[in-house]
Structure 1
Amino acid sequence: MTVIRDSRVDEPPPRLRPGGTAPAASTGADFDEIYHAHFRSLTIQLTAYCGELTQAQELVQEAFCRAYARWSRVSRYDDPVAWIRRVAWNLAASRWRRLRTAQHFLRRQREEHVPGPSPDRVALTAALAQLPAPQRRAVVLHYLADLSVSQIAQQEEVPEGTVKSWLHRGRAALAAQLAVTSEVKHHD
């Protein structure tokens, strides 16, 4: 993403972080670097959560647009990427709720949307969709985003033990779902 900056606009002086240390100097180049370094990985995470690449790209792009609009503030956070990730996940959750509402409406209208099959991807997406949302988020963030249990706990604002429980239950449920899917494929 090429960002056009107006050199006449001065950045406000940086605020101190908790603990009294000043953040590293923040420029538009920092935004470009973060964008190029993290757009792909965030898109992969959201694709696994949403099940659709183009939708994930739109969500991540929107999160980066929101970060750019607030970059003078966001760049001072200890971890600006965590803020961008959180915005993208919140956008995904909002979109998910809107989609669910639309699907309920379509069912009431006796119209049913049937996605086209694509074997392994459909199996994994279906298995992920069966997980409760907190378990699905934990599995995607841990295994695709390579976030630690403590990072997920911080993002989700829950104790680490809760994240460990979500991961354990999520893995067990995925294994069971995918084993059933594999058995069905071999019997056909």
Structure 2
Amino acid sequence: MTRRPAPPLPPPKARRHLRETAALTQTQLASRVGVTPGTVRAWESGRTTPRGRKREAYAKLLKTLADEETARRTTRPPHAHPESTPETEPAPAPAPNSGSESDPVRKPLPPEPGPAPESGPESGPKSTLEPAPEPEPGPEPVPEPVPEARPAPVALTPAQAFDALYEFGAPALVRQTYLLTGRREQAREAVERAFQTAWEHWPEVARDRDPVGWVRATAYEYALSPWQRLRPRHRHPEPPPADPGDRTLLNTLLRLPPRHRRTLVLYDGVGLDLPETAAETEASTPTAANRLLRAREAVAGRLPALADPQVLHRRLAELASNERLGAARPHAVRGDGERRARFWTRAAIAFTAALIGTTALTVRTAPTHYEPPVSPGQAVRGVPPRVAQGSLSDEELELRHKLRDQLQHGPERLSPRLE
């Protein structure tokens, strides 16, 4: 069995242009195709590509929008110039296959009426060498207003673009991170650290198709890091939500494994599509679907009223919105990130300088040749110890006198004499 070819789709920019030309929002187009607004946003940005029946429905809708735009262009009145169109010029014939009689092609406007030419007995045109009659004085023509030139779009500086991104995405990211951690200060700190990292890598983030998604992934990684458990602040729990329903839902979310909790928040809380959720959690699509099903089962097992995904989505939004989660100003976040970057840069320079100095000192003071160490002494048995010189004992004195007094046998000693 062979599959039929997938219907072609225009480029992502052309998809967005067709939707905007038809005056449709992403939510309206998503409702007509049967998907979420996040899915339409991903299709128009080029991050994902529709498949299966959704691709067919999306391609059919785009083709309809393109046909409507073509029809609007063809039925638009042509820009005819009255002074260049003679009065006796016939009207243009309707285009072939233009449709029913209810869509006629408009005729060009007739020229403005002018003074009729004088008729007389003289035949033939007037000579061009005769001076033209002076026009009668009349009201001075009013000059047409010159249309004001639109100012060219001013390019934003990196700081201004970062501030705009922070003000747009920081509040929502803080609420989403709160659903992952259940801690207000930790959620705020995670989002600020993520934006500081984005400021350090701003050229890369500015060229990314979804800068908010880049920051969101960084914030989630920081918030769910296992090193957070070793911090002293983690030992002191924060006050839970005041509403009992919100408190129960938050406790249920915190009991889920971190990966299941993150998948549930991305899919049912943020509204991402399943492939986008799998890409952000660095997992395959079947794995992300399995985690989502297990997370929903765990939540529905404890809160049966949240078995419906739409109800769960609404409750997650309410839980995140009921808490007062503020975010710092963008210039403060940028300043903290720059100070932290300077501190670590100076620390790295100081450590490198200390390492180089220690190496140079070692090379300077180290010996240039090898000197074998002196082996420790060992006691040798059977050899009498050496006796130090001192006063003779009585036996030694007696022996010395005896040797001196007795005559020793042997050749006599020769003593030199004078002759």
Q: Indicate yes or no: 2:260 matched with 1:135.
A: yes
One-letter amino acid matched to 1:160: T
One-letter amino acid matched to 2:268: Y
Q: Indicate yes or no: 2:156 matched with 1:31.
A: no
Report the CA distance between 1:57 and its aligned residue. Answer: 1.3
Counterpart position of 1:173: 298
Distance 2:189 2:238 in 1: 20
SS for the counterpart of 2:208 is coil
Distance 1:44 1:52 in 2: 10
Distance 1:179 1:168 in 2: 15
Q: Note if contact 2:274-2:285 (Cα within 8 Å) is conserved in structure 1.
A: yes
Report the CA distance between 1:86 and its aligned residue. Answer: 1.3
SS for the counterpart of 1:78 is coil
Q: How does 1:27-176 map to 2 (within 5 A)?
A: 27-28=157-158, 29-94=160-225, 97-101=226-230, 116-117=239-240, 118=242, 119-176=244-301
Q: Note if contact 2:261-2:295 (Cα within 8 Å) is conserved in structure 1.
A: yes
Aligned-CA RMSD value:
2.5
Distance 2:272 2:237 in 1: 33
Report the CA distance between 1:179 and its aligned residue. Answer: 4.5
With CA pairs under 8 Å and 6+ residues apart, which has the higher RCO, 1 or 2? 1
After the TM superposition, which parts of structure 1 deviate over 4 Å for at least 4 consecutive aligned residues? 113-117
Distance 2:164 2:259 in 1: 30
Q: TM-score, normalised by structure 1?
A: 0.68
Which segments of 5 or more consecutive residues in structure 2 lack a partner in the other structure? 1-154, 306-419
Question: Quick one: percent identity of the two aligned structures?
Answer: 33
Which segments of 5 or more consecutive residues in structure 1 lack a partner in the other structure? 1-24, 107-112, 181-188
Distance 2:238 2:292 in 1: 28
Q: Note if contact 1:44-1:144 (Cα within 8 Å) is conserved in structure 2.
A: no
One-letter amino acid matched to 2:222: L
Asked which structure has the greater CA Rg, the reply is 2
Q: Number of matched residues?
A: 147
SS for the counterpart of 1:144 is helix
Distance 2:171 2:251 in 1: 23
